[in-house]
Structure 1
């Protein structure tokens, strides 16, 4: 059955993008993993009996939003997190303050390529980070708020560093 699914996916990929390689198998695996994450969070909520808030507070939405931004950028672009991406990427150069440009490795499997695209895309990772942090608000709200506060403070600090540099350079 798995071979039949792979064959069908390969046929679909050839029809979908006949002139360009698109790693649909890798994308499908990432989608399945994300579905597994969401299902695991839902199961954990059900097993623990934690109540799901009817409406998240505006403060939590703001906190999780900024934390999601910082976490997804840190994973996708951070110089210090490059060892996590190295198995599926190749260094291409600096991208600014403590960030890197990396290229997804083309050699290897469609899965490796799909994972490479996922871990180098802060927009793609944002969905994963937001899902994890939102699930954390239900399962471990105090710990999640604490971690999100640290990420949010770091993001605000980043913006203040850029503002400081801009103000300092304006006098030159």
Structure 2
């Protein structure tokens, strides 16, 4: 076992000699993702649900927008920061109810990798899309309803931002009120 640990340590140093990259934590994350995906596939098979040959375009668009919103909500929203707090440290607000956080505990591979995953909406999107896609197969009506609500919130976010930009443009230079 010590020989394996030494080889892994050498690989990590060769991969990123000037920066800490938690390769072991990434392996744990990938294993967890494979386990979740395998469990979803097993559940689909056990329940005898039909997997479509080709998803409907409307479902792909709906789940795409819902994935964007839920990933962003989980990774950046101030209200969901308690979920990230064991793995991240608050840095600063970044506007529109979102916060910037730094990954906590640079030393622990798994904790660091989870912190990166939970604070990155792009990284989290893979997990969210997998869950929503599994939900679409296992419980399509409920999943579409939840995805519709998330899509409506995403549309509202963009409208709120467009409204704020239009308001600033109408007020002219020198006005910073929202």
Shorter-chain TM-score range: over 0.9
> C-alpha distance in 1, partners of 2:141/2:13?
48
Alpha-carbon separation, structure 1, partners of 2:3 and 2:121? 33
CA distance in 1 between counterparts of 2:152 and 2:7 reads: 47
Write the distance in 2 (CA, Å) between the matches of 1:4 and 1:115.
26
Match of 1:90 in 2: 89
TM-score by length of 1: 0.94
Once the two structures are superposed, residues 119-168 of structure 1 have per-residue CA deviations (whole angstroms, 9 ceiling, x without a partner) of 01100000000011011100010111111111111000000101111111
Residues paired across the two proteins, number: 171
Larger Rg over CA atoms: 2
1:5 offset after TM fit, Å?
Answer: 5.4
Secondary structure in structure 1 of the residue aligned to 2:14: helix
CA distance in 2, matches of 1:50, 1:38: 16
- 1:126 counterpart = 2:115: no
Moved more, 106-115 or 4-13: 4-13
Q: 1:60 to 1:5 in 2, by over 3 A?
A: farther
| Match in the other structure for 1:105 | 104
Alignment partners' CA distance in 1, 2:4 and 2:44: 31
Aligned match of 2:165: 166
Gaps of 5+ in 1: none
Following superposition, the deviation at residue 15 of structure 1 comes to 1.6
**Deviant stretches of 4+, over 2 Å:** 3-11
Equivalent in the alignment of 1:80: 79
Name structure 2 gaps, 5 residues minimum.
Answer: 172-178
Displacement of 1:10 in angstroms is: 2.8
Question: Does residue 137 of structure 2 align to residue 141 of structure 1?
Answer: no
Sort the Cα spacing of 1:119 and 1:82 in 2 relative to 1 into closer, same or farther, 3 A.
Answer: same
1:90/1:103 contact within 8 Å kept: yes
Q: 1:6 to 1:130 in 2, by over 3 A?
A: farther
TM-score by length of 2: 0.91
Return the alpha-carbon distance in structure 1 between the equivalents of residues 3 and 164 of structure 2.
56
